[in-house]
Structure 1
Amino acid sequence: MFINSGTGRNMAALPPSAGLYRRAVMPTLHLEMHPGRTLEQKRAFVREVTKVTAETLACPPESVDILISEVPRDAWAKAGKLLADA
């Protein structure tokens, strides 16, 4: 799993009329995993990750974005070997 809590947005470049969005940097988490988890497992996972992120970063849960990417074992390598070959 890879987690990137950056937003990729330059908040300083926003005009003053952006209001709240100018002041609050919203965390975006990119989660990568192998396929095979059920929808209920993903729901539980993002619920808990959102809860911990909001508590840790002192931000509202509504500001936490999570993107899940499922990467098949034939597209993931470790130590020079595809995981599909392990």
Structure 2
Amino acid sequence: MPYVNIRVTNEGVTAAQKLELIEGTSDLLHRVLNKHPSTTFVVIDEVETDNWGVNRETVTTLRARQALEK
């Protein structure tokens, strides 16, 4: 009974994209590990950009800096 947790920033991931992640993850586990999709659990957590850090800064700060550089 596989459990997969996918975390993404909450920057507009659509319901269709989430479904594609769920289907793709389930298919991958079936193909590679022979795990049946009916026993595979996929959870998608959307994280506020203030709560996600990379390279010593929040994604909120990173996105704001990137917008200014354009």
TM bucket normalised to smaller = 0.7 to 0.9
CA RMSD of superposed structures (Å): 0.9
Question: Structure 2: 5+ residue runs without aligned partners?
Answer: 63-70
Please name the residue that 2:57 is paired with.
81
Shift >3 Å, 4+ stretches = none
What's the TM-score, normalizing by structure 2?
A: 0.80
Structure with greater proportional helix content: 2
Q: State how 1:1-86 maps to structure 2 within 5 Å.
A: 26-35=1-10, 36-86=12-62
**Count of aligned residue pairs for this structure pair:** 61
What's the TM-score, normalizing by structure 1?
A: 0.66
Structure with greater proportional strand content: 2
> Aligned AA for 1:45?
L
Question: Structure 1: 5+ residue runs without aligned partners?
Answer: 1-25
Percent sequence identity over aligned pairs:
21
Higher relative contact order (CA 8 A, sep 6+): 2
Larger radius of gyration: 1
> Aligned AA for 1:32?
R
